[in-house]
Chain A
């Protein structure tokens, strides 16, 4: 195992431990993440497996096999989350505005006490 592999391996273990603690309430997400991270750990330790798979589909390096789809996925996630924030912001605008329009009042001088 190279130093880079070792550092990556430690990082994945730390992330795994952190999320096992913080994602207790979301079991399905946790299971999915554990599966993904365990796969990542195997591929980090046994880089020859990733490289073998990559070469079979025409890529030179195993890491490219992971990075290319990840870049596509991250780009899609970024766009989707931006869009979701945009939609939420418009919804919030409409809500706050409807309250403001309903509560708009013509300013009048406060009346003094009745004689």
Chain B
């Protein structure tokens, strides 16, 4: 398999099945896709019957948090499982609710093949229907993250990213909730300074629907993220 997709799931409906089927459809073109799906304590546990049948180019690893820990924690679990599964050319974090288009994996993989260690998706360069208020909040968040990490990226808290093995190993996630997105950038920035990680952005399209907007982060979530970052800087030792 070429790509390992790290996919947290929390109280998703049939959208997960659709995302998995779309991934299986594109898997042969990409050289094979393995999905590591972590159900983060959904009220109704993820039903494995929703998984498409495995093929030579597609497989799915399923795991579950018995209690809800947050998207960052689910991604960290998926990261650990993925690292134990063997070597992949690219490790991609991706939402399960259908916001991210599996076809965009091509451009992320291509950037990795061109020599990037980390590729951040940029929804503003893709064909995304970002609501105005969210656009403003995300622009401000990108500015904030630029100040915190020193990375001049144009999008913030976009869960569509790709890493090679070296980079994903450098990015353990300790932020259980949504602040993990900023933490990942901090780790990547540290990796660039210490290990010379090469970082780039790639256009991706995010499709907002009423359901995804309702379920996703509200703009006020920015304050929770800020609070989590402050507490981590106060209490975290960088290893726990």
Which A residues contact B (CB, under 8 angstroms)?
A: 82-83, 86-87, 89-90, 92-93, 96-97, 99-101, 103-109
Contacts of B81 in A (CB 8 A): 101, 104
B48 at the interface (CB under 8 A from A): yes
Q: Distance (Å) between the CB of A5 and the closest chain B CB?
A: 39
Main secondary structure of the interface of A (DSSP, over half): helix
Query: With A and B bound together, what is the CA distance between A30 and B80 in angstroms?
Result: 47
Contact B77 A97 (CB under 8 A): yes
Chain B residues in the interface with A (C-beta under 8 A): 36, 38, 48, 51, 53-54, 59-67, 69, 73, 76-77, 80-81, 84, 174, 176, 231, 234-236, 240
Give the chain A neighbours of B235 by CB distance below 8 A: 82-83, 86-87
Whether B61 pairs with A100 at a CB distance below 8 angstroms is no
- Known contacts A82-B235, A93-B176; is A100 also within 8 Å of B63 by CB? yes
Give the residues in chain B near A105, CB-CB below 8 Å: 61-63
In-complex Cβ contact of A93 among B51, B69, B231 (8 A) = B69
Take A83-B235, A106-B61 as given contacts and tell me if A97 and B176 are in contact as well, using a CB distance cutoff of 8 Å. no
Total A-B residue pairs with C-beta atoms closer than 8 Å?
66
B68 shortest CB reach to chain A, Å: 9
Shortest beta-carbon distance, A73 to chain B, in Å? 19
* B84 CB → nearest A CB, Å: 8
Q: Please, how many angstroms separate the alpha-carbon atoms of A79 and B235 in the complex?
A: 10
Give complex CA distance A28, B228 in Å.
36
Separation of A108 and B53 alpha carbons in the complex (Å): 7
Which residues in A have their C-beta under 8 angstroms from that of B69? 92-93, 96-97
Complex CA gap A48/B240 in Å reads 52
Q: Least Cβ distance of A82 to chain B in Å? A: 7
A89 to B72, CA, bound (A): 13
The listed residue (A86, A92, A106, A108) touching B231 by CB distance below 8 A is A86
Q: A109 and B53: CB pair below 8 A?
A: yes
